[in-house]
């Protein structure tokens, strides 16, 4: 696993995560899952091959967090 994803997962654990959206294209990434955070950098793009991994993580986040 790359430090990029380790850092994102740590930020999710630290309650910095505020939401996500799927977009057709973000910069040169298509399709793209955009994760939104309350701290900088506020947007982190995720490539398609990691979608399932992040969907599992996002489902485990308690509602209202």
> Tens digit of pLDDT for each residue in 6-37?
999 999 999 999 999 999 999 999 999 999 99
Tell me the two tokens of residue 62. Answer: 């308690």
pLDDT(55) > 70: yes
pLDDT band per the 50, 70, 90 thresholds, residue 4: very high
Residue 62 pLDDT: 80
Q: Quickly state the pLDDT bin for 65 (edges 50, 70, 90).
A: low
- In whole angstroms, give the CA distance from residue 64 to residue 26: 27
List alpha helices for the chain, DSSP H.
Answer: 3-13, 51-59
Its pTM stands at 0.91
Cα(11)–Cα(47) distance, rounded to whole angstroms?
A: 18
């Amino acid at each position: 696993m790359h430090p990029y994803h380790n850092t994102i997962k740590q930020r999710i654990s630290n309650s910095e995560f505020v939401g996500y959206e799927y977009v057709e294209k973000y910069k040169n990434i298509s399709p793209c899952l955009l994760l939104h955070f309350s701290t900088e950098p506020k947007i982190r793009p995720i490539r398609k091959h990691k979608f399932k991994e992040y969907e599992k993580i996002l489902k485990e986040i308690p509602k209202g967090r």
